[in-house]
Homo-oligomer: A and B are copies of this chain.
């Protein structure tokens, strides 16, 4: 476990490495350098007052002749729980709503088009416990629960798409629980949802106690976003810091630095969606890949009577 003052890998490298070495190390670890965004001073002031980190980076794509740049700003939020995990459920949820509301105000100042909250953002990260209550009380309807309604208001107010990962309670199918990301359009409409379909079980960390994983529903896929979002709420004292830190990665394998591992934060990333097809055309994986063979081999490998091919002398 890092010492309390250890904020992030980047800060450590920046503190100790001479500039030329730092440039080479960053090139190896992060790929092509992302440009720092010039964010409005009002946003930076609000973030400082609200005690959260604010960083912004841009991924750039080559200029094309027939398509203009298709620029989108994505915001990633990471946050601790404002109230202790022992507080009443409704109070915890509304404290989180208020905290997120303040961070989204700053995202709006930064011109964010799509805002993404962390996994199960309305609750302490409780998947590592085996208690059922009160954690299951944090589950809500993805279509019209209080958190979705809250996000719909945010979406309309700021003309922003909201990706809102919650613990879902599916009343139509026997009240089962899902680990679900709800996607709300900038119009305020619920566009769809995606359910986590592989729920890991690692030691005492057992999402399976709470969450069904019988398969993603068709017709509820999340729109394409090139994101990785890993922070976790600080539910238990012994959990310590965030599990990882938020960053954005692009299809050319470059990535932004990460937010702090200890503080709340908002990471703004400007993407030019043209980069997707540009990288595709350079690497051609979809043209050269053997997806038909992989589909066939995987279909064989999941058969109950499958035997791996092992050569013995």
Contacts and interface: CB of A to CB of B under 8 A. Distances in A.
A289 B302 CA distance: 11
A2 B16 contact: no
Given A2-B24, A200-B284, A309 B219 contact: yes
A197 B284 contact: no
Given A199-B288, A203-B282, A221 B309 contact: yes
B299 A295 contact: yes
A17 interface: yes
Given A2-B24, A12-B17, A298-B295, A313 B189 contact: yes
Contacts of A294: 298
Contacts of A311: 183, 191-192, 221, 223
B295 A202 contact: no
* Residue in A2, A18, A29, A199 with the greatest tally of chain B CB atoms within 10 Å: A2
A293 interface: yes
Given A198-B288, A200-B285, A310-B223, A25 B13 contact: yes
A228 interface: no
A200 B288 contact: yes
Given A299-B295, A302-B295, A21 B28 contact: no
A113 interface: no
A208 interface: yes
Nearest to A224: B310
Interface string A186-216: 0101011000011111110000100001011
A298 B288 contact: no
A266 to B, nearest CB: 23
B293 A215 contact: yes
A6 interface: yes
A302 B6 CA distance: 47
Contacts of A198: 285, 288-290
B201 A288 contact: yes
Contacts of A237: none
Given A208-B288, A223-B310, A311-B191, A283 B25 contact: no
Contacts of A296: 299
A91 interface: no
Given A25-B13, A200-B284, A301 B309 contact: no
Contacts of A21: 6, 12, 16
Contacts of A48: none
A17 B203 CA distance: 34
Interface of A: 2-3, 6, 9, 12-13, 16-18, 20-21, 24-25, 28-29, 183, 185, 187, 189, 191-192, 197-203, 208, 213, 215-216, 218-219, 221, 223-224, 282-285, 287-296, 298-299, 301-302, 309-311, 313
Given A203-B282, A221-B311, A295-B298, 13 more contacts: A3-B20, A9-B28, A12-B17, A12-B21, A12-B24, A16-B16, A29-B29, A191-B311, A191-B313, A198-B290, A208-B288, A218-B309, A296-B299
